[in-house]
Amino acid sequence: MVLLGVLLVLLAGGAVALVLTEESARYILFGYTFEPDQVEMFLVGAATAAVLLAGIWLIGSGSRRSARRRRRLRGARAEASSRVARLEDEKRELEKRLEHNPEPGDRLVARGSEDTRP
C-alpha cells in the first residue's frame, strides 16, 4: 500500500510539474495534443489533487498497518521470551531440589566394565 501511495504522489507531482513548466496551455502527452479550457483545467487540477490525497492516505494507512504488525510481533516475541525464561527458572528450581533431596532411581548409574550383561 505504501508503494502504491508513493507512486500516486509521484504521479500527481509529475502532473503539477508538467503544468508549471509549460509556457502555453497546449500539452503533448503520449503523442496526443491537449489544449484544455479553464473548466477542463480546473477539473484536471481537482483530479490531480484527489490522486495526491489518495496517495497520501495510502501511505499513512500502510504505515499504520505496518506499525501495528511490528507492535504485535514485538509483543509475541516478548511473550515467548518470558515463557522461555519461566521454563528455565522452573528447570533450575527442579535441578536444585533434586541435588538436595535425590530420590532413589533419579540417578543414572553407569555399568562398569566388570559388569556382564545377561
pLDDT tens-digit profile of 61-82?
999 999 999 999 999 999 999 9
Distance, in Å, from the CA atom of 108 to the CA atom of 99, rounded to the nearest integer, reads 13
Residues 6 or more apart in contact with residue 55 via CB below 8 angstroms: 4, 5, 6, 7, 8, 9, 10, 11, 12
**CB burial of residue 55 (10 Å; 0-12, 13-18, 19+):** buried
Strand ranges in the chain using DSSP code E only, listed in sequence order:
27-29, 32-34
pTM for the structure as a whole = 0.60
pLDDT bin (cut points 50, 70, 90) of residue 32 is confident
Which of residues 38 and 103 earns the better pLDDT score? 38
Give the integer Cα–Cα distance in Å for 68 and 50. 27
d(CA 58, CA 61): 5
The stretch 50-63 carries a mean pLDDT of 94
Name the more confident of 102 and 96: 96
